[in-house]
């Protein structure tokens, strides 16, 4: 992490009307994506762009704040943090930033928390139920309340194809995305708000209750099957599993159950679910490929990105098998 948390605290003390209450700034998540800090003394969350080269620029703090504020106002069924100040003056902290109220909870995606392990049937089903309630509430939000930023399925495929080519990704990933570009999945109707990163790892849980749906940087107006397919791809990952803790529990919803529940909540009929799962997996593979490329070329010296490079062959093998079954 390149940022000095003491300097962040000093900047907030000067800029915020309640700045005298800031006792410190603690890093929660930092590196090469959106960075998140706890503002101690105020119990607020500071959100900033990456302090070093990011995986998927640009990082638009204004848009994130606008999207989250719109969702908090117009989709009240989605647990959201209170949205506070937005600052676009880089002189304050070095970059644009915004503040949110802190909420209780923990996220999980690589290991199951003790409270869920103790209730693997009803607890797991409850997690899925609350999670699906949240992201489908977004898809049911009137589209006119979502800030501008529409992307068709064709444009979504072509975006990730361009990312893969730019980072000199494996030829098989490029081939799969080229296939999807030539024959994109069908759509279910008019576009809706979508989250873009609907994995359960972006949910906060407290005493078994969903307290927040987070990480809105890829939210836009598009085809809602993109969000569902992204969730479905975590089924059947096998040895190359990435972020699928909970999917092995007996009460976790099957892929068929997830599709049925999504249809019931949205009033739409799912189409080409296997293709949307391939697209979701190809999207993640492209992101991993960017990290591996940045490490290989020396632009990022971070062992996490060396781990990306080590994971990539197995993940691409998984993607290839999924694509063969779907195509």
Tens of pLDDT along 267-312? Answer: 999 999 999 999 999 999 999 999 999 988 988 887 888 888 898 9
Confidence of residue 1 (pLDDT cuts 50, 70, 90): low
- For CATH 3.30.200.20, the residue range(s) in the chain are 5-101
Q: Provide CATH 3.90.1200.10 ranges for the chain.
A: 114-326
Sign of the CA dihedral running 74, 80, 86, 91: negative
Indicate the burial class of 231 (C-beta count within 10 angstroms; 0-12, 13-18, 19 or more): buried
Three-point CA angle 240, 244, 248, nearest 5°: 100
pTM of the model: 0.96
Q: Does residue 165 carry a pLDDT above 70?
A: yes
Q: Tell me, which fold does domain 5-101 have in CATH?
A: Phosphorylase Kinase; domain 1 (3.30.200)
Q: Which CATH architecture has domain 114-326?
A: Alpha-Beta Complex (3.90)
**Token pair listed for 108:** 């999980």
């Amino acid at each position: 992490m390149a940022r000095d948390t003491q300097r962040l605290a000093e900047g907030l003390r000067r800029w915020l009307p309640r700045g005298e209450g800031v006792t410190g700034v603690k890093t929660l998540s930092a590196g090469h994506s959106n960075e998140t800090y706890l503002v101690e003394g105020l119990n607020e969350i500071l959100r900033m762009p990456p302090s070093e080269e990011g995986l998927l620029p640009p990082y638009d703090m204004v848009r994130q704040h606008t999207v989250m504020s719109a969702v908090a106002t117009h989709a009240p069924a989605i647990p959201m943090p209170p949205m506070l100040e937005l600052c676009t003056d880089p002189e304050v902290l070095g970059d644009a930033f915004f503040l949110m109220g802190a909420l209780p909870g923990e996220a999980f995606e690589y290991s199951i928390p003790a409270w869920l392990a103790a209730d693997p049937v009803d607890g797991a089903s409850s997690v899925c139920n609350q999670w699906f309630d949240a992201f489908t509430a977004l898809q049911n939000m009137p589209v006119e309340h979502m800030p501008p930023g529409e992307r068709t399925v064709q444009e979504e495929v072509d975006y990730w194809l361009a990312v893969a080519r730019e980072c000199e990704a494996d030829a098989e990933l490029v081939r799969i995305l080229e296939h999807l570009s030539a024959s994109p999945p069908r759509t279910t109707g008019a576009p809706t708000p979508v989250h873009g990163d609907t994995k359960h790892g972006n949910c906060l849980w407290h005493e078994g209750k969903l307290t927040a749906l987070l990480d809105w940087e890829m939210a836009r107006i598009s085809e809602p099957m993109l969000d569902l397919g992204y969730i479905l791809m975590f089924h059947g990952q096998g040895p190359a599993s990435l972020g699928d803790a909970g999917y092995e529990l007996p009460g976790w919803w099957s892929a068929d159950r997830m599709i049925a529940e999504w249809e019931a909540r949205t009033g739409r009929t799912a189409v080409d679910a296997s293709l949307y799962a391939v697209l979701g997996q190809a999207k993640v593979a492209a992101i991993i490929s960017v990290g591996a490329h940045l490490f290989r070329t020396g632009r990022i010296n971070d062992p996490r990105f060396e781990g990306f490079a080590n994971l990539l062959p197995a993940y691409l093998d998984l993607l290839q098998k999924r694509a063969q079954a779907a195509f």
